[in-house]
Amino acid sequence: MNPSLFRRFSSPLFVVFTFAVGSGGAAAQQAASAGDLPSKAEFEAIYNARADSARMHFTHADAAFLSGMILHHSQALLMAGMAPTHGASPSVRTLCARIINAQKDEIATMRQWLTDRGQPAPEVQVSGLDLVVHGGVPMEMQGKREGEGNDQGKGKGMDMSGMSRSAPAQGASATASALMPGMLTHAQMAQLEAARGADFDRLFLTGMIQHHGGAIVMVRDLFATPGAGEEQTVFKLANDIQVDQTTEIARMQGMLAALSPTSTP
């Protein structure tokens, strides 16, 4: 046997590794009882403490992105939910069902992420064609690192609490224009709601391409913010949104091009 290899296997590091993967072994138990190594319970406590620490390591931009994306997804659900009652074609109805299933799941994940970290998850209510949002993490208007995610007192932000997605008297959306790229205005939503059949298909596809494009902008803004988008769940959600919605934009552009040019919105 190679002497250097034997020395490597005889090192204290190898003893620690043996204990970690097989703590039930007699030698490991004897070492632990002698006080040379932590007990199994102590190892588990260390692991859990480090897992909790990693879970709490996030930026304000991470929390604000998920909070804003809950509102953004909520409008997509409202739009897609019109398909069965507005004479949408089978292909558009299939697309809408896919959007509803995917974005409902993502909303649930984002809401749970915020709750687990003590962050305010926005409550979104449907009011006719508009969305009214209460609470949520303030959106930073300038991308910059804010330190740990539980530090919300710094920087310039905008609280979404109590804001409606549109201002009915003006037909403009305060939340959409100030915070949420790609979201449809009240006037666009009213036009979509009034359409039927092929006209609905055309307006829906046009509007959802705009909507998806805004979500991609939000993802790019997140990753452009120093320190943001590094937490595992946030990274996966943001990456999935960018990939899935880029793919759906290409699909919807093809569907839009295939519509009969005789139908006008």
Q: What is the pLDDT of residues 84-116, one digit of tens each?
A: 999 999 999 999 999 999 999 999 999 999 999
Q: Is residue 218 within 8 Å of residue 68, measured between CB atoms? A: yes
Does one domain contain both 223 and 187?
yes
Is the per-residue pLDDT at 162 higher than 50? no
Q: What is the pLDDT of residues 118-127, one digit of tens each?
A: 999 999 999 9
Q: Which residue is listed with tokens 């040379």?
A: 36
Q: What is the pLDDT of residues 164-202, one digit of tens each?
A: 443 332 333 334 334 589 999 999 999 999 999 999 999
Is the per-residue pLDDT at 154 higher than 60? no
104 within domain boundaries: yes
Does one domain contain both 49 and 180?
no
Q: Which residue is listed with tokens 């992420």?
A: 113
Does one domain contain both 137 and 47?
no
Alpha-carbon gap, residue 137 to 148, rounded angstroms: 14
Q: Which residue is listed with tokens 């292909």?
A: 91
Residue 34: give the domain boundaries: 26-55
Q: What are phi and psi of 96, to 5 degrees?
A: -65, -40
Closest listed residue to residue 208, CA positions, set 168, 164, 244:
244
Top-confidence range, 39-48, 71-80, 161-170: 71-80
Cα–Cα–Cα angle for 164, 73, 97, rounded to 5 degrees: 130
9 within domain boundaries: no
Question: pTM of the full predicted structure?
Answer: 0.69
The total of other beta-carbon atoms located within 10 Å of residue 78's CB is 20
How many distinct structural domains can be found in the chain? 2
Which residue type sits at 7?
A: R
Please report which confidence band the pLDDT of residue 57 belongs to, taking 50, 70 and 90 as the band edges.
confident
Q: From residue 29, give the alpha-carbon distance in Å to each of 10, 14, 48, 67, 91.
A: 18, 15, 21, 48, 63
Largest CA distance in the chain: 85
Boundary of a domain, candidates 5, 35, 55: 55
Q: Which two tokens stand for residue 140?
A: 């930073």
Which residue type sits at 138?
A: P
Which residue type sits at 3?
A: P
Which residue type sits at 166?
A: S
Q: From residue 67, give the alpha-carbon distance in Å to each of 124, 138, 176.
A: 11, 8, 14
DSSP 139: E
Does one domain contain both 37 and 102?
no
Does one domain contain both 48 and 120?
no
Residue 43: predicted pLDDT: 58
Q: What is the pLDDT of residues 203-251, one digit of tens each?
A: 999 999 999 999 999 999 999 999 999 999 999 999 999 999 999 999 9
